[in-house]
Amino acid sequence: MNQALVITGAANGIGARTAILARRPVAILHRTRADEAGEVAAQIERAGGRAIAIAADIGVEADVVRAFETIDRTFGGVSGLVNNAVDPGPRRRLADLATEDLERVFRTNVLGAFFCTREAAKRMSTNNGGAGGAVVSMSSLLAVKTGAPGAWVHFASSKAALETMSYGLAKELAPEGIRVNVVRCGVIATERRLGQDKDFRDQALAQVAMGRMGDPDEVAKAVLWLLSDDAAYVTGATVDVAGGL
């Protein structure tokens, strides 16, 4: 398979581990972390793979179109997409939430996923001569399950919108050979999670039945299974990787 798996927000964390473990050509989309994205691509190439890092703000339609055109020129097409990029926004109650913060969260987490899925689907659709493919969108079990009151209702709402988008597109795109699924993460030991206030992090961890944070590789492996032919009859599904949260 020479066409690319596109992963947004893949300069670090779950996205980076998914790219490294994929063992297939990968396009790494990032907004600001050029050095980290470049190192992920370099690591893949040192292991004998093919990868490219592309700077793109997925909340800007023109950036997404340009990125996918670059992918076409480099790899000849797209075989899969992981909607991994996320902007959680600031920790705020509704009364203190600025309009620009709310807009930024939804532009990245919802509009960005729509833009990327649209461009990927155009290329993968059997209606357009593509070979089909798969999309996995990354959600948050804790956010969607609780609504994240008093802290991140804006973020939780964006993830709920992403899940509804994925469910609808699973039905819309199935006749075109494209599967769409969701992975809901729990409390995962990413840079962002480890950088949170310890008390807040411990409150989240206390809800996890297995009593530990997940490793990014554990999430990446679930994503890669959903992208693989082993999951050929799985679409419209939500897989929780959350340790019994």
9-20, pLDDT tens digit by residue?
A: 999 999 999 999
Per-residue confidence (pLDDT) for residue 50, from 0 to 100: 97
Cα distances (Å, whole numbers) of residue 51 to 28, 86, 134, 140, 147: 7, 21, 19, 27, 37
Q: What pLDDT sits at residue 233?
A: 98
What is residue 189's predicted lDDT score, i.e. its pLDDT?
A: 85
pLDDT at 199: 82
Kindly report, residue by residue over 37-91, the tens digit of the pLDDT.
Answer: 999 999 999 999 999 999 999 999 999 999 999 999 999 999 999 999 999 999 9
Residue 128 pLDDT: 96
Fold of 4-240: Rossmann fold (3.40.50)
Residue 112 to residue 118: CA distance in whole angstroms: 10
List, in sequence order, the alpha helices (H) in the chain: 13-21, 34-46, 61-75, 99-106, 112-124, 141-146, 153-173, 191-194, 198-205, 216-227
Taken in order 21, 27, 32, 38, the sign of the CA dihedral is positive
- What would the mean pLDDT of 1-27 be, rounded to a whole number? 95
pLDDT tier at 220, thresholds 50, 70, 90: very high
CB 85 within 8 A of CB 12: no
pLDDT average, residue stretch 133-151? 94
pLDDT value at residue 190:
84
What residue spans define the domains of the chain? 4-240
Predicted TM-score of the model (pTM): 0.95
Q: What are phi and psi of 141, to 5 degrees?
A: -65, -45
pLDDT on residue 1: 59
Crossing angle of helices 216-227 and 13-21, in 10° steps, is: 50
User: Which residues are CB-contacts of 95 (< 8 A; sequence separation ≥ 6)?
Assistant: none
d(CA 136, CA 157): 18
